[in-house]
Each structure stands twice: as structure tokens, then as C-alpha cells.
Structure 1
Amino acid sequence: FCYILNSRQMGKSSLMVRMMHHFNHEGYHCGAIDLTRIGDENVTIEQWYKGLAVDLLYSFDLLTTVNLKAWWNDRLDISPLQRFDRFLQDILLVELNNNENQPPKKVFIFIDEIDSILGLKIPVDSFFALIRSCYNQRMIDPKSRYQHLTFALFGVATPSELMTDIRRTPFNIGQAIQLESFKRHEAQPLLFGIAEKVSNPQTVLQEILNWTGGQPFLTQKLCRLIRNSKIPIPVNGETEWIENLVQEKILKNWETQDEPEHLKTIRDRILYSPNKTQLLTIYQQLWEQKEIVSVDIAVQKELCLSGLAIKQNGLLKIHNRIYELIFNRRWIEYNLGSLIDN
């Protein structure tokens, strides 16, 4: 069991797709669920668990193999959670490894947008407890079918938001995977898209990273703006040229130019949070001091999940220069002032 919980547009879904392609190539079974498709805030617990089962059958191409409706209705005397547990053991893991002449293959279930459960009215702690139970069964019974099953969760939330009961949480036994910004060597492939536009590609790349801090979405967006620009980049004038491009295409009237939406997503995660006063206050401190000591508190974690800040070497920092210029002193004071006025 592993989980990747990070801010939006850091490459979580892209990583999931690449992992699935890799595991499929290795001969393993992979299926993915996007939880935003399972139901809205009015979904019942019965519909939610059955929706998980339907999507898993579809993802693993087993929909025509199993009469899920009949199987599910034959077990109405047990809870939806128990039915889903039996579905995993008796249907999914059996059908995927039904060739007795071959050893069982590993099965990977990728669950994307895991944070969407926070908007549901049904209790979901038991779902995470089930993931922990699957892990425990592997320890208890070496012959358990769960030996072959691995869950991978992706989303924008903290473990404590998703599961409040620390006695049953799977997050203290799972493997956390941290996604970080592009390092210079990791961003080298992006140069292929702009190579014909620039004379000093490494200089240009460094200037891009100086602005974006390696944030994947912004880094790729700036590369795309460079490629599409009709203004030539002067040799030895890359710094000024890129600064002008950032000013004109990203910073100027940023709310209008923010397509696909990125900066507005960060803004909204701050301003529509129930903790916006604390978030703005700690961000004001961070903006003025440039870095503050990283502390394991909820408000710092939420600020990092917004994407606005990152933790590096025990310090909290603003993620990049673009964020610092857009979410500046004027923006902070305006929004803090609005809270005071209200």
C-alpha cells in the first residue's frame, strides 16, 4: 500500500498512468478508479461500495465476466463494506488469476482523486480500515489472496483529513511517496520542444527554473510560451527576454490569462478554506521573512497542499518567484482586510 498526497498539478495522475503502463508491460494486472465518478454528496453507502465494484470490473475488463448485480443482491444480509471485501477476495482476485497453470500475478488498484471522499456524507473511515485489514491479512495468512493485492492512493489531502481514527488508519503502515519539483537534470527532456528556438538551451532552462522553482505545470507552461512566441530570443539576452515573457503572459492580468487554470486553483484553496485566516497569517509571515521553520502543524500542511509553499531542509518556503509576485503583500493585506471588515 502506498499513497501520493500532494498539491494539484504536480504530476500525480501522470505518474499513475506511467506506473500502470510499466506494470502492465511487466505482466501485472492494473486497474484504476477515479473517485469523482463514483458519486456526489448524496450517494448512499450502498451505492458507493457497489460503484467501486462496478468501476473495478470495468477497469480490469471483467464487466461481462461477472453478473455483479445478482452476486451483490444475493448478499444483502451483510454490510456493503463486507460485500466489497468479499468482492475483492472471491471475485476480483479469483477472476484475474484464474489460470491454474501460472503462478498468481500481482494486482494493483490505483485510486485517484481520493480527496473527493471528503465531500461525501457517508462514513468512509471503514474503507481505509479495509485497506489496513488487507495488509494485516497478508501478515496473518501467507495463503491469503490479499498477498497479491496492492493499493495506491492519489490525491490532495493529508492522511489525518482522510482518516481520523489513528487506531485503524492504514497511513501509518503504508509507504508515502513524495513528489518534488523538477530538478535541472529532470527537466532536460523539455528542451526538445524549444531547442530550435534558443541558442543557449541550458541558460534558458535555468532561467525557466529560476521563475517556476521547477513546479511541473508552470515549468511546462513557460516552455510552451517560449516555443509559441514569435519574438526571437537574443543571444546573451535570455534573462531579460524570459522576464518580459513572464510579465506579459503570466503575471499581467493573471486571472484572465490563467488558462488552463492553475493560479486560481491555489487562490481558491486559500480563500475558500475554513482556515483562511490562519493560512493568510502564516503566509504573510512567510512572504515577509522568505522562509520560516517548518513545524508539523495542520495549517502548514494545508498551505503546502495549496501548492503555494514547500518544505525544504526543515524550512517552509514560497514555492517559486511567480507565486511570490502574484500572491504578494498587496494581495495578502487585501484579503486579510476583507476578513476583518466582515
Structure 2
Amino acid sequence: MIDSDYQIGGSLAQDAPTYVVRKADSDLYSQLQKGNFCYVLNSRQMGKSSLLVRTRYRLQQEGFQCATLDMTRIGSEMITSQQWYKGIASELWRGFNLLGKFNLKNWWKEEEDISMIQRLSNFIEDILLTKFPEKKLIVFVDEIDSILSLNFKVDDFFAFIRFCYNQRAINPEYNRISFALFGVATPSDLISDRSRTPFNIGKAIELEGFTFNEVQPLIQGLEHKVSNATTVMREIIKWTGGQPFLTQKICQCILDSTQKSINQTLTIPPGTEGFWVESLVRSRMIHKWESQDEPEHLRTIRNRIESNQEHLGRILGIYQDILKGLDVQIDDSKEQSELILSGLVVK
């Protein structure tokens, strides 16, 4: 860690030295190990994709067959429902390394007389479960919120996931396949027909900010740069609330500010760590914040809030109450959900 930089944004590799293990790591791993359907729905830059990468690696080491569907790769604009469903089958074909072992184009054409969702179902049952006998399969679906840009409904896709779960009582082979969804959305955003939702049979994985007891990997990167690294990290957490992107960014700002002191630790007088961190945050992140918002994070939050013109006044009113320290009861309203998904607040 001593010679490494912190990673600001993007998925961390499974062996990244700055990866912070949280409760969600064990929760997701244990639930998928049991074969449960899981979903991780949260705001941007909370470490969802990094959690996916690390969990997938752990399960693969135990013999699970895993594939990742990045829904942005399939596309969401100027795409038909047939292209979308075929895109899912194609990504599964590639993800489970079936290139050269199975002719997807011919098979898809042979199935053209049935619905898209039935083709996808047949692909799971006739191809995947057959090609991998005895193996447990896990499909990780990342960026699931990209479906919100589609010009057609995909309730059938979620009904298909529920079908796979219900089939376990009829066909035990379906016990071998599980799904995990990741994205910036709420269950009600993703599916319009609540009677068909799979989320009442799935396990919600709560992905929260770093706690001070979890950030030892980040502290190690500061120990040879500043004195009192543990106290400095405690002050950083006070500013970020443990939000992963902002926490990593402040740590990197500290490394950047001490680059001139090669092989020399910057001494911060005991008791002044809070003032020192505050000065750094104000100068490197708050002052002229738009020009310093690289990689972009705060501007994305602002743009998301401002784009919701219909609910903007109510959203800002709730946020103002929170800033005043008033108690705000959770009611799962559209406005509260938008505040949470923006990353401005947590439950």
C-alpha cells in the first residue's frame, strides 16, 4: 500500500490494496452461496461494482460459474425489445465462455416462433444448465438502472427471474442458478407491475459507508505520509460519513499534498488534525468546487437533483430540514427516494 495511490471511482480489482471490506461483503457472499436472489440498489459511487468484482472472484475460487451482465453494454437507446433480449442471451453466451462451443445465432433463429422471454428461459434451461451439469451458476447484473431509458417495458425480465426462483419447487435443476442485481434505482423504479416483482423473494443487501473500524487499509496508505494517520482518518470520516468515493479522494489529496516530502513524514501537531483536514477539504474540494470536481461526482449529484423539476421543491425542502437538524420520518416517497439515490442523504 505504501507505494500505491488511492483509486477514485471505477471498479477496484479484487486484490486492490485500498479495497475496504464491509458487512455487505459477507452478506452478499453468504446469500449467493446459499443460492438466494440478491439485489444491491444504492446511490452512485458507493462501491457496488467493486463489491460485485470481489464477490464474483471469491465465488469463482470455490467452483461457482459466474457471468456478469453489464446492461450498459447491451444499450438502452434506439434498441428494440428483440435486440435487448438477444443481447442478454449473447452476453450470457460470452460470459459463460460458450463461444465456439455452441452456435447462438442458429439456436436463436430456431426459437423465433416463441416470445422473447420464453427464448431466454429456454436458453437458461436447455443450454446453461445443460452445458454446466452439477455446477452452480450465478448471473451478476450490473447497471440495472440503465433499463429506465428503454422505450419498452421489461417487467417480463423480472418476472423471468421470479420464474427461475419458483421453478425450484418443480425442477430442482433451477436451484443451481441465482441472480444478483446492482444499480442506482429502487425496486418500484425498475418494475411497473408490482404484482410481478421478484423483490419480495430476493434479499436486499445494504451497502453502507465505511465505518472507522473498517478503514485500516486506507490508514496504511497514510502512515508513511502523515503523522497521526489514525486520527487523520477519523477526521476524514467525519467529513465524508464514510462515503467511499469522497473518502478515497481525500486520502489521495493528502498523498498529493505530501508528494514533495519523499521519504519524509509530514508532522501534524497532535490536536490539530481536525483543523488540518478541514483546511485540505476546503481548499481541494469545496473552494471553486465545480472546477475541482474531478472525477465528476458532486456535479452529477447536482444534475440529478435539478433534472427532477416536478419534485425539485419538495426534494430541496426535505434536504433543508435535514441540514437544520430536524427529524424527518422515512415514508419512502418519491422525493425521499431521490435524495437517497442522489447520494446526498442516507436512511
TM-score when scaled to structure 2?
A: 0.85
Q: Which residue of structure 2 lines up, in the alignment, with residue 245 of structure 1? A: 280
Q: Give 1:81 deviation, angstroms.
A: 1.0
Q: Which AA in structure 2 matches 1:217?
A: F
The answer to whether the 8 Å contact 1:28/1:106 transfers is yes
Residue correspondences, number: 303
Q: Which residue of structure 1 lines up, in the alignment, with residue 297 of structure 2? A: 262
The answer to whether the 8 Å contact 1:4/1:12 transfers is yes
1:197 aligned counterpart, secondary structure = coil
Q: Give 1:290 deviation, angstroms.
A: 4.9
Partners of 1:202 and 1:284 lie apart in 2 by 33
Q: Which residue of structure 1 lines up, in the alignment, with residue 195 of structure 2? A: 167
Q: Which residue of structure 2 lines up, in the alignment, with residue 91 of structure 1? A: 127
Partners of 2:210 and 2:46 lie apart in 1 by 10
Matches within 5 A, 1:1-342: 1-97=37-133, 104-142=134-172, 145-230=173-258, 232-236=266-270, 237-273=272-308, 274-311=310-347
User: Which deviates more from structure 2 when the two are superposed, residues 294-303 or residues 181-190?
Assistant: 294-303
The answer to whether the 8 Å contact 2:74/2:84 transfers is yes
**Alpha-carbon displacement from aligned partner over 1:109-141 (angstroms, at most 9, x marks no partner):** 000000000000122000000000110001233
Structure 1: stretches of 5+ with no match in the other structure: 98-103, 312-342
- Structure 1 segments of 4+ aligned residues over 4 angstroms from their partners: none
1:127 aligned counterpart, secondary structure = helix
The answer to whether the 8 Å contact 1:233/1:241 transfers is no
Partners of 1:209 and 1:222 lie apart in 2 by 10
Q: Give 1:41 deviation, angstroms.
A: 2.1
Q: Which residue of structure 2 lines up, in the alignment, with residue 316 of structure 1? A: none
Higher relative contact order, chain-length normalized (CA < 8 Å, sep 6+) = 2
RMSD: 1.3
Partners of 2:88 and 2:302 lie apart in 1 by 32
Structure 2: stretches of 5+ with no match in the other structure: 1-36
1:151 aligned counterpart, secondary structure = strand
Q: Which AA in structure 2 matches 1:184?
A: F
The answer to whether the 8 Å contact 2:318/2:328 transfers is no
TM-score when scaled to structure 1?
A: 0.86
